[in-house]
Amino acid sequence: NAGVTQTPKFQVLKTGQSMTLQCAQDMNHEYMSWYRQDPGMGLRLIHYSVGAGITDQGEVPNGYNVSRSTTEDFPLRLLSAAPSQTSVYFCASSITGTSSYEQYFGPGTRLTVT
Amino acid sequence: AQSVSQHNHHVILSEAASLELGCNYSYGGTVNLFWYVQYPGQHLQLLLKYFSGDPLVKGIKGFEAEFIKSKFSFNLRKPSVQWSDTAEYFCAVRFGNTDKLIFGTGTRLQVFP
């Protein structure tokens, strides 16, 4: 199993540009989520999904869109990038259930918006 | 509002010293508790988790954590740290029956030989 994969690893955008961060998992996990990691602020939940066709907002959803058309993929879209979105983005997945919720994280995407 | 607090932002220790990192949450209901570790340049990995039962849980690499319900705490401990424990440590909480996992702000641990 490849686990959770993310592309690209690094990206530089100009203010106002759009892009999609890709996330895929091959573990048949129902739950997938996106976090951003900023110094001194830990990981903050952007959006999450409990299954194909179902998404919901996390703590900091503004400026980001998601969709979940398949179990495997959970892309994160930035429609109009802003410098405040400069961050490291992590995708994670897990089995839902009473004894799990252990999240498996991808390697991250480091995004810089100039 | 449900929140997770890690009051130690940066901890510096010498090898063989004992470690305790604090984690508190604000919520009176059922919680599932996690500690994750992020080594330099790597992604997050699970150290240990608590769902129910014995409030003292043991994880990988000699780490353990104790759930104290009355104090809303889940502190991470290790009796003797090593240089290889240098990393950032995150406490995370799943509140009630929600699907969201909320992380604390993290504690950066530096261990010197």
**Residue B93 · residue B27 · CB < 8 Å:** yes
- Residues of chain A with C-beta less than 8 angstroms from the C-beta of B6: 42
Task: Identify the helix (H) or strand (E) that includes residue A112.
Answer: strand A109-113
Omega before A8 within 30 of 0, i.e. cis = yes
To the nearest whole Å, the CA of B53 is away from the closest chain A CA by 12
Closest CB from B9, B49, B90 relative to A102: B49
Closest to A90 (Cα-Cα) out of B88, B23, B74: B88
Contact at CB, B43 and A108, closer than 8 angstroms: yes
Mean pLDDT (chain B, rounded) = 93
Residue A41 has pLDDT above 90, yes or no: no
pLDDT given for residue B27 in this prediction: 78
Closest CB from B46, B49, B103 relative to A43: B103
pLDDT given for residue A100 in this prediction: 63
Give the C-alpha separation, B59 to B64, whole Å: 6
- Residues of chain A with C-beta less than 8 angstroms from the C-beta of B36: 103
When pLDDT is averaged across residues A77-103 and rounded to a whole number, the result is: 87
Give the C-alpha separation, B113 to B101, whole Å: 35
Task: Label each residue of B70-102 as H, E or C.
Answer: HHCEEEEEECCCCHHHCEEEEEEEEECCCCCEE
The model's confidence at residue A97, banded by pLDDT at 50, 70 and 90, is: low
Residue B80 has pLDDT above 70, yes or no: yes
pLDDT given for residue B96 in this prediction: 82
Contact at CB, A42 and B49, closer than 8 angstroms: no
Residue B107 touches partner A, C-beta closer than 8 Å: no
For B41-74, the pLDDT digits (tens) are 888 999 999 988 999 999 999 999 999 999 999 9
**Residue A47 · residue A55 · CB < 8 Å:** yes
* DSSP secondary structure code for residue B30 in this structure: -
pLDDT given for residue A19 in this prediction: 96
Residue A101 has pLDDT above 80, yes or no: no
To the nearest whole Å, the CA of A80 is away from the closest chain B CA by 26
Residue of A nearest to B1 (CA): A59
Closest CB from B34, B36, B102 relative to A45: B102
The model's confidence at residue A99, banded by pLDDT at 50, 70 and 90, is: low
Amino acid at B17: A
Give the C-alpha separation, A34 to A44, whole Å: 8
The model's confidence at residue A16, banded by pLDDT at 50, 70 and 90, is: very high
Closest to B85 (Cα-Cα) out of B7, B19, B26: B19
pLDDT given for residue B1 in this prediction: 73
- Residues of chain B with C-beta less than 8 angstroms from the C-beta of A33: 100-101
pLDDT given for residue A98 in this prediction: 52
Rounded to the nearest 5 degrees, what angle is found at the Cα of B42, between the Cα atoms of B37 and B44? Answer: 35
Instruction: Find the radius of gyration of the CA atoms of chain A.
Output: 13
To the nearest whole Å, the CA of B6 is away from the closest chain A CA by 10
The model's confidence at residue B2, banded by pLDDT at 50, 70 and 90, is: confident
